[in-house]
């Protein structure tokens, strides 16, 4: 296997991600995208993501969310080039004051 894409559909109302999905229609999620390092840069990640987005759209979803680590610059670049924008930033660890 050289790549895979896993989507999720969150029902309307409170959902993982909090306020983004509350009180709205169901929301799709780009849950996991994996590409073999030897295949990175070939367009496989974009193709897999587009397949997942089409799958979600075909189920009537007009909104999609995803989470990506800030250190994953390649993924951020891919998602931004596909029209995604930053909605929130989560911090797991911070320097105490």
pLDDT of residue 94: 73
Residues of the chain with pLDDT under 50: 15, 21
Cβ neighbours of 72 (radius 10 Å): 11
pLDDT of residue 15: 47
CA angle, corner 48, sides to 45 and 51, nearest 5?
150
Burial of 20 (0-12, 13-18, 19+ CB in 10 A): middle
What strand order describes the sheet that includes 64-66?
3-10, 27-35, 64-66
pLDDT of residue 89: 81
User: What DSSP element (H or E) covers 75?
Assistant: helix 73-81
pLDDT of residue 13: 67
């Amino acid at each position: 296997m050289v790549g895979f894409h896993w989507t999720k559909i969150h029902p309307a109302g409170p959902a993982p991600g909090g306020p983004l999905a509350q009180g709205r229609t169901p929301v799709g999620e780009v849950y996991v995208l994996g590409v073999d390092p030897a295949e990175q840069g070939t367009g496989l990640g974009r193709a897999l993501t587009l397949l997942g987005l089409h799958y979600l759209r075909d189920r009537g979803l007009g909104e999609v969310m995803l989470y990506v680590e800030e250190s994953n610059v390649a993924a951020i670049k891919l998602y931004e080039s596909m029209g995604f924008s930053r909605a929130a930033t989560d911090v797991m660890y911070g320097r105490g004051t």
